[in-house]
């Protein structure tokens, strides 16, 4: 379509155009992160949260304004750390996780470019996902709606090889996932856009690479803030991104849980609990530096009151917890279901953690008295390295007196503030 100009040249040209636009000065730092390449093996575009790949055929079919839209879309995925933040959604349904992230980004891009047309949504085969009913929602909220809508549809036969985004307007069989970027082959009416998200590739980054990527994004945001402020000072307009939100990104609950467990279950002296871990101090969370080298037991205390943790939510939580637990490999994991009294106790030995997700189910209901958990641990001489309490925070008494570190995972109740231990607020939408 564009003659002798190569796809590589057009990609680079439009990246420079974005750099030169004062409206996107806030993105300048993140634009520099990772590698950006043309890939003959993929039909559309994709990112693993660091690197971006663009299909040659797609680039050739798009106008410059459409190509800028796709580039900005991929950069937004990196900026918002979608492949880290919403990994648990992909574990449930690859196609719907892709779509949920895309809906959020495309509404933003359309709003930003409604006046000047600098970036334009691709049309035809490469048209992206837009739906006004999702305005103001995050990806988890959109995902919930899409999942509920899909569950109401007649079940279709599984399509071999699915997983990806492409160009036909139909998606892959629910629940399938595959590495990299691929063409959709399914027929389940899953919405798709013009890109795929390489969730598996994101997870294949080493721990050091993930830490470095987080550092680069943080630095890129700050660079973008400086550039945007400088341009505004010279009368060149603003940007389309809420900089305050970027400078104070929401901490994903699983990251905090992982930090708490690994910090609490490493080191060699309980007294180090008094030396706070610096990572989350900016968010008002003071986490321990750690205790014991040998992790004997972790305890999860699950509130069984009627307003807290239904079966689906608990399964979502425990599925994520298994990855955390396997990191520190305790000799056993104990689950205590509690309300007014201790309802049930489950014990899982090392190597049996997968059964934890399959077997565990919420029981009971009624009032909430956390002291029944405290007393049970004390009376049975349970050597808990740490206790993670799952609750809505509406307790019938006090918060208890604990002899070990405790993390309160409080569901849908931001006003609850424990007077002991550490706290983590979780939305129901995060537990899908």
Decide: 370 and 299 in contact? Cβ < 8 Å: no
Answer yes or no: do 347 and 399 share one domain.
yes
* Token pair recorded at residue 214: 């987080």
The per-residue pLDDT for 88 is 82
- Helix, strand or coil for residue 379? helix
Residue pair 369/339 in contact by the 8 Å Cβ criterion: yes
Same domain? 314 vs 168: no
Same domain? 291 vs 144 = no
Look at residue 37 and tell me if it is in a domain.
yes
Residue 113: which pLDDT band, with cuts at 50, 70 and 90? very high
Whole-model pTM: value is: 0.55
80, two tokens: 């918002």
Asked if 171 and 95 touch (Cβ cutoff 8 Å), the reply is: yes
Q: Is residue 345 domain-shared with residue 238, that is, in the same domain?
A: no
A 10 A CB-CB count for 143 gives 26
160 pLDDT exceeds 90?
A: no
Residue 199's contacts (CB-CB under 8 Å, 6 or more residues apart) are 48, 83, 87, 90, 94, 97, 177
Domain of residue 333: give its range: 253-431
Final residue of a structural domain among 232, 247, 262: 247
- Per the document, the length of the chain is 432
Instruction: With beta carbons less than 8 A apart as the criterion, state whether 153 and 137 touch.
Output: no
Q: Residues 105, 106, 107, 108: is their CA dihedral positive or negative?
A: positive
Under a CB-based contact definition with an 8 Å cutoff, are residues 430 and 402 in contact? no
Q: How many CA atoms lie within 13 Å of 273's alpha carbon, on the beta-carbon side? A: 18
Determine, yes or no, domain membership for 30: yes
Arithmetic mean of pLDDT, 1-20 = 85
Closest of 70, 60, 77 to residue 119, by C-alpha: 70
pLDDT for the residue numbered 52: 96
Check whether residue 232 and residue 279 sit in a common domain.
no
Average pLDDT over residues 397-401: 90
177, pLDDT greater than 80:
no
- Residue where a domain stops, chosen among 247, 278, 311: 247
CA-based nearest residue to 32, from 208, 167, 194, 220: 220
CATH of the domain at 312: 3.40.50
By the 8 A CB rule, do 173 and 188 touch?
Answer: yes
More confident residue, 277 or 32: 32
Residue 361 domain-assigned? yes
Same domain, 275 and 157: no
Q: Residue 47 forms beta bridges with which residues?
A: 52, 197
Cα three-residue angle 223-226-227, rounded to 5 degrees: 85
pLDDT tens-digit readout, 18-68: 988 988 988 888 999 999 999 999 999 999 999 999 999 999 999 999 999
CB-based burial label for 309 (10 Å; 0-12, 13-18, 19+): buried
Residue 176 lies in a domain: yes
Closest C-alpha to 101, from 122, 76, 118: 76
Residue with the bigger pLDDT between 418 and 240: it is 418
For residue 2, tell me if it sits in a domain.
no
Q: 3-state SS of the chain: helix, strand, coil percent to 5? A: 45, 15, 45
Residue 414, in any domain of the structure? yes
Q: Is residue 231 within a helix (H) or strand (E), and if so which, with residue range?
A: helix 207-233
Q: Do residue 108 and residue 191 come from a single domain? A: yes
Tens digit of each residue's pLDDT (9 = 90 or more) over 292-314: 345 789 999 988 876 566 777 77
Let me know whether 172 and 88 are in one domain: yes
Picking from 247, 275, 295, the residue at the C-terminal end of a domain is 247
Same domain as 328, residue 224: no
Question: Could you give the CA distance from residue 281 to residue 273 in angstroms, rounded to a whole number?
Answer: 14
Total structural domains in the chain?
A: 2
Residue 1 forms part of a structural domain: no
Is the Cβ–Cβ distance between 241 and 227 less than 8 Å? no
Q: Is the pLDDT of residue 76 over 90?
A: yes
Q: Are residues 54 and 199 in the same domain?
A: yes
How high is the pLDDT of residue 14? 95
Strands 332-338 and 342-349: antiparallel
Q: Looking at the structure, do residues 100 and 123 belong to the same domain, yes or no? A: yes
Contact 237, 231 (CB under 8 A): yes
Task: Name the pairing type of β-strands 297-303 and 386-391.
Answer: parallel
Q: Note whether 180 and 277 are same-domain residues.
A: no
């Amino acid at each position: 379509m564009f003659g002798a100009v190569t796809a590589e040249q057009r990609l680079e040209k439009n990246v420079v155009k974005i750099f030169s636009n004062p409206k996107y000065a806030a993105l300048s730092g993140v634009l520099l992160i990772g590698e950006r390449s043309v890939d003959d093996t993929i039909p559309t575009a994709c990112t693993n949260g660091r690197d971006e790949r663009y299909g040659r055929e797609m680039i050739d079919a798009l106008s410059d304004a459409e190509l800028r839209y796709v580039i900005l879309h991929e950069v937004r995925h990196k900026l918002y750390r979608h492949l880290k933040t919403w990994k648990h959604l992909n574990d449930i349904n690859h196609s719907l996780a892709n779509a949920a992230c895309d809906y959020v980004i495309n509404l933003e891009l359309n709003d930003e470019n409604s006046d000047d047309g600098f970036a334009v949504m691709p049309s035809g085969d490469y048209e992206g996902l837009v739906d006004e009913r999702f305005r103001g929602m995050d990806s988890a909220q959109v995902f919930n709606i899409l999942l509920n809508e899909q569950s109401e549809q007649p079940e279709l036969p599984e399509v071999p090889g699915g997983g990806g985004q492409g160009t036909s307007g139909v998606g892959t069989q629910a629940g399938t996932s595959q590495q990299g970027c691929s063409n959709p082959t399914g027929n389940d009416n899953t919405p798709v856009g013009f890109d795929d998200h390489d969730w598996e590739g994101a997870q294949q980054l080493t721990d050091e690479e993930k830490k470095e990527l987080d550092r680069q994004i943080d630095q890129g945001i700050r660079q973008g803030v400086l550039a945007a402020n400088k341009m505004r000072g010279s009368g060149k307009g603003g940007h389309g991104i809420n900089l305050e939100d970027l400078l104070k990104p929401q901490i994903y609950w699983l990251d905090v849980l992982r930090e708490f467990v690994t910090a609490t279950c490493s080191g060699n002296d309980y007294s180090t609990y008094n030396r706070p871990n610096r990572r989350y101090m900016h968010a008002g969370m003071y986490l321990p530096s750690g205790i014991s080298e040998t992790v004997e037991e972790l305890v999860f205390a699950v509130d069984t009151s009627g307003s807290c943790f239904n079966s689906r939510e608990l399964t979502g939580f425990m599925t994520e917890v298994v990855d955390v637990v396997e990191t520190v490999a305790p000799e056993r994991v104990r689950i205590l279901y509690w309300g007014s009294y201790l309802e049930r106790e489950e014990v899982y030995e090392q190597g049996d953690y997968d059964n934890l997700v399959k077997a565990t189910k919420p029981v009971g209901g009624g009032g909430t008295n956390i002291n029944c958990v405290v007393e049970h641990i004390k009376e049975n001489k349970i050597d808990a390295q740490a206790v993670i309490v799952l609750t809505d925070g509406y307790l019938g008494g006090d918060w208890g007196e604990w002899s070990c570190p405790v993390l309160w995972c409080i569901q849908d109740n931001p006003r609850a503030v424990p007077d002991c231990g550490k706290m983590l607020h979780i939305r129901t939408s995060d537990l899908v």
